[in-house]
A and B are shown apart, each in its own frame.
Chain A
Amino acid sequence: QITLKESGPTLVKPTQTLTLTCTFSGFSLSTSAVGVGWIRQPPGKALEWLALIYWDDDKRYSPSLKSRLTITKDTSKNQVVLTMTNMDPVDTATYYCAHSHYDSSGYYVFFDYWGQGTLVTVSS
């Protein structure tokens, strides 16, 4: 059974750096074709993809946020960490981590398991 859970501060001040941890179980991030991504959702707004790290340590970032994001993995701890610098009130959102992999055909990729999300508020 695959589970993911996000953890981190619920409140950060403007200009601070946010560090979020995704702790997962039921899969290994050293398995081929597996990845963990981060997606956020401001209150009442749409989903926005942020970053993704693959089993081989390949990393992809949202072009609009790339300069502020860093994603890393600790395979031994089953954790993925996302840092976002220079936080602003517009970054207030629920942050989700999600499991990514390919289907049995090896052709289609998707986020099939999601954490419950963690609400991060940016305010002074």
Chain B
Amino acid sequence: QSVLTQPPSASGTPGQRVTLSCSGSTSNIGSNAVNWYQQLPGTAPKLLIYGNNQRPSGVPDRFSGSKSGTSASLAISGLQSDDEADYYCAAWDDSLSGYWVFGGGTKLTVL
């Protein structure tokens, strides 16, 4: 059972805009920034968004992130077949001694 809650699946057609959600609590998303990772089949995760809405160099501006309260969202516009992957949100949790928490991941299918 992951600490952050993500819908297990989402889908869209090429060119469409999709939004993936991530829900947490006051000790993680409510207090700290959210990062998003993309994991293509058979590969290691790749940092997609950090600091709620910052894109690392090389990440297309089709990907955008936002946060409100204890929830965060990842939006993908102009959906492409290459975007078919698992997407994970993550945040630092301030409880206990502090630790990273991940979501259960959303598998995005491009129809």
Using an 8 Å CB-CB cutoff, how does the interface string of B41-82 with A read, 1 for contact, 0 for none?
Answer: 000111100110010100000000000000000000000000
Q: List B residues 68-106 near A (Cβ within 8 Å).
A: 88, 90, 92, 96-105
Q: What residues of chain A lie closer than 8 Å to B2, measured between beta carbons?
A: 46, 48
Tell me what chain B mostly uses at the interface: helix, strand, loop, or mixed: strand
Check B33 for interface membership: any CB of A closer than 8 A.
yes
Contact with B along A104-124 (1 / 0, CB 8 A): 010111111011110000000
Docked Cα-Cα span, A110 to B37, in Å, equals 10
Check A55 for interface membership: any CB of B closer than 8 A: no
**A116 CA to B56 CA in the complex, in Å?**
20
Instruction: Look across to chain A and name the residue whose beta carbon is closest to the beta carbon of B95.
Output: A63
Binding site for A on B (CB under 8 A): 2, 33, 35, 37, 39, 44-47, 50-51, 54, 56, 88, 90, 92, 96-105
Q: Mark A39-60, 1 if CB is under 8 A from B, else 0.
A: 1000000111100100000001
CB–CB A46/B100 < 8 A: no
Q: Name A's B-contacting residues (CB within 8 A).
A: 37, 39, 46-49, 52, 60-63, 96, 103, 105, 107-112, 114-117
